């Protein structure tokens, strides 16, 4: 049978068959061996072939080639860098940040965009918890991303602000939600599905951090077609592929055309148009620093 992995938990894969039935599956021996060596060979969204064993149990025999994936770099054993596939066969990335509680970090948004563009994924950024109120500064921050061509929406999972508009952007697409713990990813899933399927948890009053409520990735099917993949919030997100860097930092790429040297590193060179833009306040120093930090991984 053919199916899609909809949930992954400690070596147990939940697979939804083409008929819409759910099966709890294990991996066949050869795949199991591969997994021990490489860790996560299967991710939510992967298409698989499986044999039905009994009732709702099965065994996965093959994994179809991925159309796309979102990958992050995790710390592996013995300092080895493991590539962790967060989700497979997706069209777009919904980056969720909160206007406050927890506060957003622009550098993290930029890393998400770089990863998404490296994999050819479209990007939507949701500034959630809009009901808590936000400053002019936040509006300015959001504008930077819309001017770069990414869709930005202010939403509230609590009051429903912006949810219909967001739903319109997700229809018939496969979308993965990312963002740190507590920003409201699962709450948005519930608001978009108009139900209470995804478990949500509070944000600590003292540290303003989420409590890692979602512990495994899950697929949710949208009523009008399309699906959402809710993933656990990660504290950090390291880019595994810098192919999308120049696109994610289109403004810096543009500026660098006017640098005196072709191989300008935008750090110390005379006649650097990027450094000049920083000096004149046309480019944020923090943004250049983040760009250079990601570029190190090339």
Ligand X SMILES: Nc1nc2c(ncn2[C@@H]2O[C@H](COP(=O)(O)OP(=O)(O)OP(=O)(O)O)[C@@H](O)[C@H]2O)c(=O)[nH]1
Residues in contact with ligand X by CB under 6 A are: 128-129, 131-132, 156-158, 179, 181-187, 200-203, 210, 212-214, 232-233
Q: Does 111 bind Zn ion (CB under 5 A)?
A: no
Look at the chain and count its residues. Answer: 298
Indicate if the alpha-carbon torsion angle 65, 115, 182, 82 is positive or negative: positive
Strand 81-88, strand 92-98: pairing: unpaired
CA pair distance 40, 8, nearest whole angstrom: 10
Return d(Cα 201, Cα 210) in angstroms, integer.
8
Residue 202: how many other CB atoms lie within 10 Å? 10
The SS3 of residue 230 is: strand
| CB closest to ligand X, residue no | 233
Which contacts (CB < 8 Å, 24+ apart) does range 74-79 have? Answer: 74/238, 76/39
With contacts defined by CB under 5 A, name the span among 153-161, 162-170, 178-186, 263-271 that binds Zn ion.
263-271
Task: Choose from Zn ion, Mg ion, ligand X, none: what does 182 bind? Cβ within 5-8 Å by kind.
Answer: ligand X
Q: Which of 187, 175, 155, 167 is nearest to 229 (CA)?
A: 175
- Name the 3-class secondary structure at 50: strand
Q: Contact between 5 and Zn ion (CB under 5 A)?
A: no
**Closer Cβ to ligand X, 153 or 185, answer by number:** 185
Q: What tokens does 42 get?
A: 């299967």
Q: At closest approach, how far in Å is the CB of 178 from ligand X?
A: 9
Q: Which is nearer to Mg ion, 15 or 203 (CB)?
A: 203
266 binds, among Zn ion, Mg ion, ligand X, none (CB under 5 to 8 A by kind): Zn ion
Nearer of residues 90 and 273 to Zn ion, judged by Cβ: 273
Q: Is 277 in the site for Zn ion (CB under 5 A)?
A: no
Coil, helix or strand for 172?
coil
CA–CA dist 114, 245 (Å, integer): 5
Q: Is 161 in the site for Mg ion (CB under 5 A)?
A: no
- CB 47, min distance to Mg ion, A: 25
Q: Does 218 help bind Mg ion (rule: CB under 5 A)?
A: no
27, 108, 157, 272: which one contacts Zn ion (CB under 5 A)? 272
Least distance CB 273 / Zn ion (angstroms): 6
Q: Check whether 129 is labelled as a binding-site residue.
A: yes
Distance CA 91, CA 232 (A): 19
218 annotated ligand binder: no
The CA–CA distances, whole Å, from 36 to 40, 162, 243 equal 8, 43, 29
- The verdict on 214 binding Mg ion (CB under 5 A) reads yes
Which residue in the set 259, 277, 283, 288 belongs to the binding site for Zn ion (CB under 5 A)? 259
Query: Least CB distance from residue 225 to ligand X, whole Å?
Result: 23
Residues 162-201 that bind Mg ion (CB under 5 A): 185-186
Cite the beta strand spans of 225-285 per DSSP E: 227-230, 238-239
Instruction: Say if residue 272 carries a ligand binding annotation.
Output: yes
Residue 136 CB, nearest approach to ligand X (Å): 20
Confirm whether residue 130 is marked as ligand binding.
yes
Cis peptide before 59 (omega within 30 of 0): no
Strands (E) located in 163-280: 174-178, 218-221, 227-230, 238-239
**Residues annotated in a binding site:** 128-131, 179-187, 259, 264, 266, 272
User: Given the rule CB under 5 A, which residues bind Mg ion?
Assistant: 185-186, 213-214
Residues in binding site for Zn(2+): 259, 264, 266, 272
The site for Zn ion (CB under 5 A) is made up of: 259, 264, 266, 272, 274
């Amino acid at each position: 049978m053919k199916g899609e992995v909809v949930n992954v938990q400690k070596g147990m894969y939940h697979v939804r068959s083409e008929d819409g039935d759910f099966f709890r599956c294990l991996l066949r021996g050869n795949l199991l061996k591969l997994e021990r060596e490489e860790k996560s060979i299967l991710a939510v969204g992967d298409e698989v072939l499986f044999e039905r064993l009994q009732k709702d149990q099965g065994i996965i025999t093959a994994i179809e080639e991925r159309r796309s994936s979102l990958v992050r770099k995790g710390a592996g054993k013995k300092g080895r860098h493991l590539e962790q596939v967060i989700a497979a066969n997706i069209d777009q990335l919904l980056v969720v940040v909160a206007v406050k509680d927890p506060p957003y970090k622009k550098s993290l948004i930029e890393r998400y965009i770089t990863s998404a563009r490296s994999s050819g994924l479209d990007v939507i950024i949701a500034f959630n918890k809009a009901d808590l109120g936000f400053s002019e500064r936040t509006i300015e921050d959001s504008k930077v991303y819309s001017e770069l061509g990414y869709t930005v929406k202010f939403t509230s999972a609590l009051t429903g602000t912006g949810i219909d508009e967001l739903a319109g952007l997700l229809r018939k697409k496969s979308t993965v939600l990312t963002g740190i713990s507590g920003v409201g990813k699962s709450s948005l899933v519930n608001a978009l599905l108009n139900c209470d399927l995804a478990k949500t948890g509070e944000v600590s009053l003292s540290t303003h951090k989420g409590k890692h409520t979602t512990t495994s990735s899950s697929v949710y099917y949208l009523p009008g077609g399309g699906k959402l993949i809710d993933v656990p919030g990660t504290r950090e997100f390291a880019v595994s592929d810098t192919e999308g860097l120049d696109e994610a930092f289109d403004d810096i790429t543009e500026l660098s055309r006017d640098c005196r040297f072709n191989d300008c590193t935008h750090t110390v060179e005379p006649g650097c148009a990027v450094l000049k833009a920083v000096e004149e306040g046309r480019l944020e120093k923090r943004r250049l620093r983040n760009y250079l930090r990601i570029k190190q991984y090339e």
